[in-house]
Amino acid sequence: MSEWLVLCSDTEFDRMRGVVANMDESPLVYWTDSQNELRERVAASRPGELGVLVGVVGAGVSDINLAAAVVADGRARFVALVKSGVTGSFRSRASRAGVDLVVDLDEVEEEPEHVLASGWTQARGEEPPSEPMVAASAGSSVQDVPELALDLEEPFEGIASSQAPVLVFCSGRGGVGKTMLAVCTAVIASRWGMRTCLLDLDLSCGNAYAALGLREGADPTSYGESGATTPIVQLCQMSASGVSVMGPCARPEMAELVFPYLGDLIERVSKEFELVVVDTSTTFTDAVAHAVQHADRLVIVTDSREGAISSAARTSGLAVRLGVARTRIARIENRANPRFKPDLSAGRAEVGLEAARVYRVFEGGRGVGELLGEGRVDELCEPGFAFADSLSSAVAKLLAELGRLPDCAEARSAYEQTDEGRRSSLFGLRREAR
């Protein structure tokens, strides 16, 4: 059962509770009408513990400013903003501020009492679970909470969370190219000018560093020994492409020692870099679960082999049970054939994939494995080929959703690219990987 904080007037609580029910199954909802109390509670929570829904707020602070401030605090699992009469420019400002979802009440066709999803206990004749927020203690105040120093009432540029977005790549099965896509994503973002860190959380047997031409990755156990006071960048290995790499453990048997401080490590990395790309193991270890709960976008990688969607569905369903909002889940269909149109209906009925945006990355050619094995991933990511261009387009769109698309011509061009691919010549696949 996931926890949500709702800010609204008492007369609007039932309606806002219905909005939460449509986003999450069986949520535990807390209510407050105090902006300060809301931010204090979020600031005191563990990162990723709470979802926040900002409804009608009182005088003095705008709803979008408050939502943006909660995003900037960096602890909420999901931030939604609810109001009537939402305009396109308002959605744009909210997106750039890092708000995950904007709900226009005018677009809700049902009456408020019928908006509740089937996951509510009201379907069994009971009241939905709800509690008032625990009041702040007498000695507490908002002086320790960052001030609402944002002004989003007019269009703005680049205002978003102070933390770097975290893209976590999962698969649920081996051989789909998850590690390759994670490494190439980090290289592409670095080429666009973003200070990027690649975390390899296949802590026992990961080898993402090899694709970047490194002889070894930085051992994350070093963070537990001395990392509390050492800049993360000094603990990482730097590749020729400019990507900082951490992981796996130098000795596989040390992996479990990393679990207790992994959440703090991810939070530190997201504060010292501009993008965090996480590669994971095929199975859901404690390390993968930590990363998934910190993900701004959980990218589930599939291919066209039989059983791909069922594996993705198991992964997405587990992610939802771990508290990941469905709107934070995306899917990449790897090794897609540009000659065929995508079947976007696949997976729509699966838990966690109902609203997942689907991206296609085209086949990179028979030489992909050779380039990765030789640590020449930079060549694989050069623009002008179907694989690199399709992956760049997916990365650009993911970053744009998070309000972090870099201001460079190549990134903007990738964002504007359509998913049409190009026809392959007889030697197209060979040329793709050169």
Listed residues 144, 174, 196: the one ending a domain = 144
Secondary structure class of 280 (helix, strand, coil): coil
Residue 400 or 22, more confident: 400
- Cα separations in angstroms, 147 against 72, 100, 150, 418: 11, 21, 9, 41
Q: Helices (DSSP H) in 240-285: which residue ranges?
A: 262-272
360-389 pLDDT tens trace: 999 877 778 788 888 889 889 999 889 999
pLDDT tens, position by position, 164-186: 999 999 998 889 999 999 999 99
For residue 144, with 0-12 CB atoms within 10 Å meaning exposed, 13-18 middle and 19 or more buried, which class applies? exposed
HSE of 323, CA atoms in CB hemisphere, 13 A:
22
Structure tokens at 59: 């005088």
Give the domain range for residue 107.
Answer: 3-144
pLDDT tens column, 198-234: 999 999 999 999 999 999 989 998 887 766 678 888 8
The per-residue pLDDT for 348 is: 60
* Residue-wise DSSP of 130-188: EEEPPPPPTT--GGGSPP-----SS--SS---SSPPEEEEE-SSSSS-HHHHHHHHHHH
Domain count, the chain: 2
Which residue from 309, 275, 323, 330 is spatially nearest to 45, judged by alpha carbons? 323
- 117 vs 240, which has greater pLDDT? 240
Tell me the average pLDDT of the chain.
Answer: 80
pLDDT digits (tens, 9 = 90+) for 308-342: 888 889 999 999 888 888 889 999 999 998 777 76
Per DSSP, the three-state class of 69 is: helix
Q: Strand runs (DSSP E) across 84-125, as ranges?
A: 101-104
- Is residue 120 within 8 A of residue 128, CB to CB? The reply is yes
Q: Domain check: are 136 and 176 in the same one?
A: no
pLDDT in tens, 304-315: 888 788 888 999
pTM: 0.63
Residues 120 and 229 in one domain: no
Last residue in a domain, options 144, 174, 194: 144
Which of residues 77, 112, 144 is at a domain's end?
144
The domain that holds 139 is classified in CATH as: 3.40.50.2300
Confidence of residue 246 (pLDDT cuts 50, 70, 90): very high
Does a structural domain hold residue 324?
yes
User: 255, 287 in Cβ contact below 8 A?
Assistant: yes
